[in-house]
Structure 1
């Protein structure tokens, strides 16, 4: 009887040991990425938050890949690709086609990576936060110079513009101002080089108005409604708010190798519906 009990106990112990071993055995890990290489990205400061986040995630998945990104303005993107000093040119319009003031870049491919929402923004002390298209045109062209003329307080308007070559400027001029020319000088006029500079200037300058993409809007500024329509993601998707554009990664010919894989990652459902949305961009698939 004791022998039978011992055998039963031994069998039970073996089963337990086998079962425990199967629970504690480490799960199979994915094979380490063999992708390697270097990617240089230049261009749009509007797209820079997206580019930096995507680069960070992609490098974690592919440790042998090095990515450097800088933002000197949209037009420098395709220019850098043409000169051979960048693999990807980030830009806020399709540079294979002419844009106001810019010729098309032949021999390049425009890879669509995001929908970029833009808004007129004012310093937190400004009370006129719902403007018509005509009022915006008059403000940015210099015809209206005091906030009281558009329903605000008696204070000089400080107009903050982006330098020529900015994709945010191109989109805002075309879609918010309907092509109306900007003022270019004056005591109440400032020009800044990047979206980050615009953010800082609007935050720190009372009575200022400018424009940025949604990724740069903070609690120290107010996004302006246009013709009674608030600048929101929902209003862009439903077609009520028109001030937005596609963001592109320009490449010399069709992308290949590590550059192709990086662009595919940015275009992937995972990134589009994850980090891209958290940064206040809109997935490409959301627009009909």
Structure 2
């Protein structure tokens, strides 16, 4: 009997020890699972938090993303001494001037230097780092994009076909007639119901972005004619064209450059003038920059794409 009494406490102690160990094991396992869950949760939460921050920053931007995905935000402060050099298409002369005046007024001590020697010249200077922005009237091609150039749409534009104010031809033209004129199939105004005189076509030089877009949109299946009634201008500028129109000339230009000219008459195409939403010769004008964008470029493009910048462009045009 004494032996049995000694054995019973030992059995009870062993059972208690096993129970304590089991409870301890379960407790440790619970804590371990909890830590794993918390660590996993922290890892996942860091991504949405960062993403959320970026989303909030992007939502404040009044700009549109470029083709490379960069978003330009309207700047609050631009340091004095900041300078932006722009060169390129004559089609963006008024846009350049509008943004220059507004940007410099908004941010005193800054300078926007503009020139207009044609889209191709602007692109070449951008590649060599001689300017910050190329003002171009055509999209960038694949080769230019591979070299790190990015085009940002700035404003919509229309290409107007026009004659001199003293030209006796006072009708509109169909799209087909415009094609025939610039491909040399129609060479006399009498073929269009006008006087018996040669149609003198004043064409822009090959470096002109406006010429390239006009050829793509209006002459998609052919090139400009180069007959005796065609004159290719030496410079990609609209003013010399206007001066050379006379009573028999015809040409084309960005609408903003001729809309308020008293010495030209704009020709309706298929009954539509450039102000019409469904006018056939419309395009987009761009600022191109070289990746990575400098702080100066980021500031200027952010302003140009903001509501204030777009208002400045609209009021000037």
Task: Identify whether the pair has TM-score above 0.5, normalized to the shorter chain.
Answer: yes
| Aligned counterpart, 2:135 | 90
The alpha-carbon distance between structure 1 residues 79 and 188, as it changes in their structure 2 partners (threshold 3 A), is closer
The alpha-carbon distance between structure 1 residues 188 and 44, as it changes in their structure 2 partners (threshold 3 A), is closer
| Aligned counterpart, 1:164 | 206
Distance 1:196 1:276 in 2: 20
The answer on whether the counterparts of 2:203 and 2:230 sit within 8 Å (CA) in structure 1 is no
1:153 aligns with 2:191: no
* Misfit runs of 4+, over 6 Å: none
Matches within 5 A, 1:47-126: 47-95=92-140, 97-98=141-142, 103-106=143-146, 107-126=148-167
1:221 aligns with 2:259: no
Distance 1:185 1:63 in 2: 52
| 1:102-138 Cα deviation digits (max 9, x unpaired) | x534211111111121111111123243112221112
| Aligned counterpart, 1:278 | 315
> What SS class does the counterpart of residue 226 from structure 1 fall into?
coil
| Aligned counterpart, 2:14 | none
Which stretches in structure 1 are left out of the alignment for 5+ residues?
1-30, 281-288
Structure 1 residue 181 displacement after superposition: 1.1
1:43 aligns with 2:88: yes
What is the alpha-carbon root mean square deviation over aligned residues? 2.2
Which stretches in structure 2 are left out of the alignment for 5+ residues?
1-75
Distance 1:259 1:32 in 2: 14
The alpha-carbon distance between structure 1 residues 41 and 205, as it changes in their structure 2 partners (threshold 3 A), is same
TM-score, structure 2 as length reference:
0.69
Distance 1:187 1:138 in 2: 13
1:210 aligns with 2:248: no
| Aligned counterpart, 2:186 | 144
Structure 1 residue 178 displacement after superposition: 3.3
Distance 1:220 1:109 in 2: 37
TM-score, structure 1 as length reference:
0.76
The alpha-carbon distance between structure 1 residues 41 and 32, as it changes in their structure 2 partners (threshold 3 A), is closer
| 1:48-82 Cα deviation digits (max 9, x unpaired) | 11112211221122222222111111111221111
Structure 1 residue 185 displacement after superposition: 4.7
Distance 2:302 2:293 in 1: 10
| Aligned counterpart, 1:266 | 304
Distance 1:179 1:59 in 2: 45
The alpha-carbon distance between structure 1 residues 225 and 146, as it changes in their structure 2 partners (threshold 3 A), is same
Distance 2:170 2:224 in 1: 20
The alpha-carbon distance between structure 1 residues 179 and 226, as it changes in their structure 2 partners (threshold 3 A), is farther
Distance 1:124 1:51 in 2: 28
Distance 2:221 2:209 in 1: 14
> What SS class does the counterpart of residue 125 from structure 1 fall into?
coil
- Mark the structure with the bigger radius of gyration: 2
Total equivalences in the alignment: 238
Structure 1 residue 199 displacement after superposition: 4.7
The alpha-carbon distance between structure 1 residues 226 and 179, as it changes in their structure 2 partners (threshold 3 A), is farther
The alpha-carbon distance between structure 1 residues 46 and 83, as it changes in their structure 2 partners (threshold 3 A), is same
Which structure features the higher share of helix residues?
A: 2
Which structure features the higher share of strand residues?
A: 1
